Structure formats: structure tokens, C-alpha cells
Structure 1
């Protein structure tokens, strides 16, 4: 058996999916750094744009990072003037994270930058191919989420 044959097509696909994810993160980081953001911090802003006032715990779950990692990310976003923390009037122990007025003013520009990155990254696909790829990857993600061991140790909310 050759070295290439030692890996199943499924293993090679898994490696390719990991490479795609890494490359997308790298591209987002490089392109958004001029705006004071990383790909991960952009995702925080995008989630808040969709639903302002999420808790740090919810954001950590959505980004699949620890609460301490999201806390540091939010600290940087807050220092950059992108977000602000506000106490929850219904539960003083809980804090919501909100887009700052500055972020509300620049979110359109950031959405356009993100859309340009997406357009360039996925330009090799026509609409039909992209819809099929999104469907297949979504189905795989949903299936993997049901398998034993899918919950990450040391992941969201574990610290």
C-alpha cells in the first residue's frame, strides 16, 4: 500500500475541510487587520449585528471558544470601540455585549468587506454548486454533531 493509499477518501476530505477552514480564517485575518479586526472578532460583531446583547457565554458557544478566550476578544473589541458591555437589568450577574455606536456606523463597511472576501473565495463555484456544497457541508456538520465525542473537552463554557 502506498503512502497516498494509506488515507481513506474520507480522511483526505477531513484534511481538506480543515485546510479550507484554516485558509478562510487566514484570509479574513489578513484582510480585516487593516480595520482593526481579526476573522474571529469579525464573527463576534456579525453575531451581535444579528442579535445585539448576547452574553459572553453565548458568544463563546457560537464561536466554539472558551469563556476566557471570548472575554479577551471582547476586551480587545471594547478597547477598540467596537463593543460595550452592559449589565442585564433582570440579572445583575449577567452582562450583555452590544455593538457600540461606532460599530453601528461601520458595520455596513465591514459587511461589504466580508462580502468581498466571500465573493473572491467562492468565485470558483456557480450558484448551483455553492448551494450543493452548502447543503452537503451542513448535513455533515449536523450529523457530526450527533455523534459521541462531538462535545469538545475544554471547549465552550468548560472553564
Structure 2
């Protein structure tokens, strides 16, 4: 539901993309994460762990800090994800030859095989989420959401 209100003092319209005070964006992200985790349960993998592997398969040997930046999470969070993946043989840490204080993280061949499963799962979740929505509407929605993300990131960077 699109809610438009008029503030009498500023005569400015405010638009909210919430339904009955339920945040639509958060619900979509939460439902996708729950479904994704459920579908990956047979592989003992979570969505967060999967994104680490996807990034490393795309560009192997990232520093932990670079990986945290790409995932847009704290370095400590990334370190814990890497710990879990390393214990299961999906990644390995190696000292950075250019900076002894840093580690680089590498996906193992086992991780590369799992990323194929992750990719298939992403398409399955997208198919479920996008059912009954015309391609043109999806393209418009994606453009609008990308703009919103950019606006919010810019606002955060300016604070």
C-alpha cells in the first residue's frame, strides 16, 4: 500500500512504502533469507556464508577487509563467517605477501562446486518471488530500488 500524507505546516507530501506499519522492504529481505536458508539447509550453508563464497569465486584472494566492504558488514562479522567456512574446508586464509598484518581469503575447489548450487538456489528464490510479475514491472522495480539504495548510501556517507 502506498501511503501519501500531507504535512500542513510544510505543505510537503511524504510517501511511505509500508503496509499497516509493516516494513515491506524488511519483510521481503527477511522472507528471502528464510527461504534461501531453508533451501540451503541440506548443504549446511546459510545465505550469509554463501555470499562470502560467491564473492571469493568471483575474485579469489580478497583481503578480509575487502570482503567485509563488499558484503557491507563489519570486519568482525566477516571474520566469523570465514572461520565457519574455513572449518568446513570451503575457504583458506593465507598471509598477505604485501602486508603481514592482513590475510587473504581463497575459495577451495569444494567452494567453487557449492557456488553452483548457490547460484541455482538464487534463481529458484527469484522465480518464487517474481511469480506473476511482468518482466517490465520487475525492470522498473529494480531500477527504483537501485536508486533508493544509492540515495540511502549517499545519505549515510554524508553523515
Which residue pairs with 1:10 in the alignment? 16
Are the equivalent residues in 2 in contact too, given 1:78–1:84 (CA < 8 A)? Answer: yes
Deviations, residues 130-151 of structure 1 (Å, cap 9, x unaligned)? 111110000011011111xx25
Q: 1:63 aligns with which of 63, 71, 75?
A: 71
Are the equivalent residues in 2 in contact too, given 1:36–1:80 (CA < 8 A)? Answer: no
Rounded to whole Å, the distance in 2 between the matches of 1:117 and 1:5 is: 31
Are the equivalent residues in 2 in contact too, given 1:86–1:95 (CA < 8 A)? Answer: yes
Deviations, residues 115-139 of structure 1 (Å, cap 9, x unaligned)? 2222222223222111111100000
Structure with the larger strand share: 2
Rounded to whole Å, the distance in 2 between the matches of 1:31 and 1:127 is: 25
- Structure 2, unmatched stretches of 5+, are 6-13
TM-score of the pair, normalised by structure 2: 0.81
Deviating beyond 6 angstroms after TM superposition, the runs of 4 or more aligned structure 1 residues are none
- Structure 1, unmatched stretches of 5+, are 152-159
Rounded to whole Å, the distance in 2 between the matches of 1:121 and 1:27 is: 10
TM-superposed CA distance for 1:110, in Å, is 2.6
Which residue pairs with 2:123 in the alignment? 115
TM-superposed CA distance for 1:79, in Å, is 0.9
TM-score of the pair, normalised by structure 1: 0.81
Compare relative contact order (CA 8 Å, sep 6+) and give the higher one, 1 or 2.
1
TM-superposed CA distance for 1:63, in Å, is 2.2
CA RMSD in angstroms comes to: 2.4
Which residue pairs with 1:154 in the alignment? none
Rounded to whole Å, the distance in 2 between the matches of 1:46 and 1:16 is: 26
Query: How many matched pairs?
Result: 146
Are the equivalent residues in 1 in contact too, given 2:68–2:78 (CA < 8 A)? Answer: yes
Which residue pairs with 2:56 in the alignment? 48
